[in-house]
Amino acid sequence: MNQQEIMTTVDEYVLHTYNRFPISIDRGMGTHVWDSEGKEYLDFMAGIAVYALGYHYPEYDEALKAQIDKVLHTSNLYYHEPLALAAKAVVESTGLSKVFFTNSGAEAIEGAIKSARKYAWMKDGKNNHEIIAMKSSFHGRSVGALSVTGNAHYQDPFKPLMGGVVFAEFNNLQSVLDLVNDTTCAILLETVQGEGGIYPADPEFLQGIRRICDEKDILLILDEIQCGMGRTGTMWAYEQYGIKPDIVTCAKALGCGVPVGAFVLNEKAAAKGLMPGDHGTTYGGNPFVCTAVAEVFSLYEKIGLISHVKEISEYLASSLDAFAEKHACVTAHRGLGLIRGLEFAKEVPVGEVTKRALEKGLLIISAGSNVLRFVPPLIITKEDVDEAMAILEECI
C-alpha cells in the first residue's frame, strides 16, 4: 500500500476516535522515524512518552526476539522467569513492596482505585468511601479512570460515572484539606500533570498531602504513567520530593513500545488490599512484556540513562527559555527533566504549530488547549534539541 491507500483504508475500517496526523509511519531508528513515502522526521513525542530508548535499540530488540522463540503467553496461572525479573526490577526501583502488571496505564489506575477501596473496606467494612482527585487531571479513558479525571470535556458524554470521587485544586493544599473527611480512602494525583498542561506538583503541596495521608491513614496514589521511568531526571518523579506514595501507577516507557502497565503498592496497601480472586488479567505480565520491562531496567542502568536525562534536560530547558524570551506569543515554560511545555497566548493556535512542524519534519504534540508538549526519547542529543528548536523557529 502507498501512504494514501493506508490512510484511506484505516479511515474506512477503524472507529474514528482519533484525529490522526496525515502521515503513515513505516519505520524508526534512534530518535527519527520515516513515513511510507520515505520522508524523515525528528520525533519529539516518542509515541506519547513511550519510546524512552528510541526506536530499535539493539539489545532491547534482541531480548524480545529471543523471548518470541521461547513463549509469548502462559496466563497468570503459572510462574515464569521474565515475571520474576521484571517484578524485582520494578519493586526495587520504586522502593515499594508488590507489583501487579496490567496491559495499559488506564488499567493500572483501575487497579489502584480498587486497591484503595478494598483497603478502606478491610478497615471498616463500609462501602461509602471517597477518593480525592485533582481538577485538570487526566488518568485514562476507561470508566473508572474517567471518574477520577478532573475534566468535564472527557467525562460529560459518559455520565453517570463511578461515584465517590471529589475534586480538589492541583497545587492548592487547602482545597484538599477542605475535602478530607472520615470517608476519604485515597488521594490520587499526577506528580506532574501531563494532559492538563505540564504542571509539576509544588513540593509543599505534595509533601503536605503525604502528611495528611499519614495522619488520617489515607492512601496516597501517584500517577506516574507519563512522568515516571526517568523522564524527570530521577527514575520516579516523587523521588525529587522526598516522599513515597502508597501506590504508584506506571506504563508508557515501562515497556518502551510493548504495551504494559503496572501498579505498585507498599507493604501496608498490599497486605490489606487485593487478595486472590479480587483482581486479574489474562494478558497482563506475560513473558513477552515482562522481558521488555526487565530489559528496559537493565539498559537504563547499563547506559546511565538517568544521568543523561539530567544533562540533556538542562540543555533543552535553556533552549526553551531562550525561545520563550524571544517570542512574545509564548507566555510560560515549565516542566521537569524531559517532560516540558511551552504555553502560548490563547490567540495562538497550537494545533497549527504542530501541523507546520509535521510538514517541516518534526513530530510534536500539544497538551491542553494551548501548550506545546515536549516528551522526546530520553536518548536525545544536543543536536536533536538544536534541530527541533530550528524547526519551531520556522513554524512560529
- Identify whether residues 242 and 261 lie together within a single domain: yes
Question: Can you give the pTM of this predicted structure?
Answer: 0.97
**Does 66 reside within a domain?**
no
**Under 8 Å CB-to-CB from 92, ≥6 apart: which residues?**
none
Task: Give percent of the chain with pLDDT exceeding 70.
Answer: 100
DSSP state letters, 334-358: EEETTEEEEEE-TTS-HHHHHHHHH
Segment 193-221 shows an average pLDDT of: 98
pLDDT interval class at 334 (50, 70, 90): very high
Segment 90-140, tens digit of pLDDT:
999 999 999 999 999 999 999 999 999 999 999 999 999 999 999 999 999
φ/ψ (deg, to 5) at 22: -80, 55
CATH of the domain at 82: 3.40.640.10
Task: Give percent of the chain with pLDDT exceeding 90.
Answer: 98
- Identify whether residues 81 and 43 lie together within a single domain: no
- Identify whether residues 95 and 11 lie together within a single domain: no
d(CA 50, CA 61): 15
Give bridge partners of residue 33 from the DSSP assignment: 28, 41
Segment 56-65 shows an average pLDDT of: 98
Segment 179-189, tens digit of pLDDT:
999 999 999 99
| Three-state SS sequence of 31-53 | CEEEECCCCEEEECCHHHHCCCC
CA 132 to chain CA centroid, Å, is: 20
Segment 371-380, tens digit of pLDDT:
999 999 999 9
d(CA 102, CA 284): 4
Q: What single DSSP character describes residue 31?
A: T
Segment 162-170 shows an average pLDDT of: 98
**Does 62 reside within a domain?**
no
Contact of 338 with 378, CB cutoff 8 Å: yes
**Does 26 reside within a domain?**
yes
**Under 8 Å CB-to-CB from 88, ≥6 apart: which residues?**
none
- Identify whether residues 257 and 281 lie together within a single domain: yes
Number of domains in the chain: 2
Segment 301-324 shows an average pLDDT of: 98
Please give the grid coordinates belonging to residue 313: 534536560
- Identify whether residues 322 and 284 lie together within a single domain: no
Contact of 324 with 3, CB cutoff 8 Å: no
Please give the grid coordinates belonging to residue 297: 531496567
d(CA 109, CA 115): 10
d(CA 310, CA 233): 5
**Does 64 reside within a domain?**
no
What does DSSP say about strands 184-190 and 130-134: parallel, antiparallel, or unpaired? parallel
- Identify whether residues 212 and 333 lie together within a single domain: no
Look-up: residue for cell 500517577? 223
d(CA 251, CA 386): 29
CATH of the domain at 380: 3.90.1150.10
Mean pLDDT for the chain overall: 97
Q: Which of 267, 302, 337 is the last residue of a domain?
A: 302
Q: Which of 302, 329, 350 is the last residue of a domain?
A: 302
**Does 99 reside within a domain?**
yes
Predicted confidence at residue 368, as pLDDT, reads 85
Predicted confidence at residue 305, as pLDDT, reads 98
Give the domain extent around 378: 3-57+304-395
d(CA 370, CA 342): 8
DSSP state letters, 122-183: HHH--S--EEEEEBT----SSHHHHHT-B-HHHHGGG-S--SSEEEE-TT-HHHHHTT--TT
- Identify whether residues 259 and 381 lie together within a single domain: no
Segment 212-232 shows an average pLDDT of: 98
- Identify whether residues 380 and 349 lie together within a single domain: yes
Segment 254-264, tens digit of pLDDT:
999 999 999 99
Predicted confidence at residue 5, as pLDDT, reads 97
**Does 207 reside within a domain?**
yes
Q: Which of 281, 302, 323 is the last residue of a domain?
A: 302
- Identify whether residues 292 and 226 lie together within a single domain: yes
- Residue 369 pLDDT greater than 90, yes or no: no
C-beta atoms surrounding 71 within 10 Å = 13
- Identify whether residues 149 and 259 lie together within a single domain: yes
**Does 359 reside within a domain?**
yes
**Does 327 reside within a domain?**
yes
φ/ψ (deg, to 5) at 201: -65, 140
Contact of 187 with 206, CB cutoff 8 Å: no
Predicted confidence at residue 315, as pLDDT, reads 98
- Identify whether residues 96 and 182 lie together within a single domain: yes
φ/ψ (deg, to 5) at 300: -55, -45
- Identify whether residues 228 and 335 lie together within a single domain: no
Burial of 323 (0-12, 13-18, 19+ CB in 10 A): middle
The conformational region for residue 379 under phi > 0 = left, psi -120 to 50 = alpha, else beta, is alpha
